[in-house]
Chain A
Amino acid sequence: MRLGAALGLAAVLAIAGCVRQAPFALQNITGLMPTLEFHLRDGDARPVSAEDYRRKIVLLYFGYTSCPDVCPTTLAKLSQAVHNLGQQATNVRVLFVTVDPQRDTTAHLKSYASYFGPQFIGLRGDDQPLAALARRYRVTYSLDPPDRNGNYSVEHSSAVFIFDQTGRPRLLAQSTDTPTAIASDLRRLLNGK
Chain B
Amino acid sequence: MKRGESNPPVTETQVAYRWCTAFQGRVKTVLESRLVDSLGYLVPWEFSPTVALSCAALVAVYVRGLRAGAQRELAPRWWRTLSFMLGVTLIYVVLQTRIDYYSQHMFWVHRLQHLILHHVSPMLIVLAVPGATLTRGLPKTWQRTLKEHTRALWWRWIIRVVQQPLVASVLFVGVIGFWLIPAIHFTAMLDVRRYRAMNWSMLIDGLLFWWLVLTPRAVQGPASIRYFYRAAMVVGVTFPQIFIGAYITLHRSVLYGVYGICGRAWAISPMLDQQLGGLLTWIPPAMMSLLGLLIVLHLMFRDLAAAERAPRAPILAAAKSAG
Contacts and interface: CB of A to CB of B under 8 A. Distances in A.
Contacts of A62: 263
B1 A141 contact: no
Q: What range describes how many residues of A lie at the interface? A: 20 to 34
A68 interface: yes
B2 A156 contact: yes
A139 interface: yes
A67 B265 CA distance: 18
Interface string B31-49: 0000000000000011000
A138 B262 contact: yes
A7 interface: no
A110 B287 CA distance: 56
Contacts of A182: none
A158 B190 CA distance: 14
Interface in A23-78: 27, 29, 31-33, 62, 67-70
A142 B266 contact: yes
Contacts of A135: 45-46
A32 B263 contact: no
Contact of A175 (B5, B46, B101, B265): B5
Interface string B1-12: 110110000000
A16 B1 CA distance: 45
Nearest to A33: B190
B128 interface: no
Contacts of B4: 175
Contacts of A70: 1-2
Interface in B243-298: 257, 260-267
Contacts of B186: 27
Given A29-B190, A32-B187, A69-B1, A155 B264 contact: yes
B1 A139 contact: no
A133 to B, nearest CB: 13
B311 interface: no
Contacts of A68: 1
Contact of A153 (B1, B46, B105, B191): B1
B2 A139 contact: no
A139 to B, nearest CB: 5
Q: What range describes how many residues of B lie at the interface? A: 20 to 34
Given A155-B267, A158-B260, A159-B262, A67 B1 contact: yes
Nearest to A176: B5
- Chain A interface, >50% SS class: loop
A172 interface: yes
Nearest to A29: B190
A145 interface: yes
Nearest to A173: B261
B192 interface: yes
B133 interface: no
A157 interface: yes
Contact of A145 (B28, B104, B192, B262): B28
Given A155-B263, A158-B263, A172-B261, A138 B192 contact: yes
A33 B191 contact: yes
A138 B189 contact: yes
Contact of A156 (B45, B104, B263): B263
A144 interface: yes
B25 interface: yes
Contacts of A140: 101, 104-105, 262-265
A138 B1 CA distance: 19
Contacts of A69: 1
30 contacts: A29-B190, A32-B191, A33-B191, A62-B263, A70-B1, A135-B46, A138-B104, A138-B189, A138-B262, A139-B262, A140-B101, A140-B105, A140-B262, A140-B263, A140-B265, A142-B263, A144-B25, A153-B1, A155-B2, A155-B263, A155-B266, A156-B263, A157-B263, A158-B2, A158-B261, A159-B262, A172-B261, A174-B257, A175-B4, A175-B5
Interface of A: 27, 29, 31-33, 62, 67-70, 135, 138-142, 144-145, 153-159, 172, 174-175
Interface of B: 1-2, 4-5, 25, 28-29, 45-46, 101, 104-105, 186-187, 189-192, 194, 257, 260-267
Given A62-B263, A155-B266, A174-B261, 15 more contacts: A32-B190, A70-B2, A135-B45, A138-B104, A138-B189, A140-B265, A145-B28, A145-B29, A153-B1, A155-B1, A155-B263, A158-B263, A159-B262, A172-B190, A175-B5
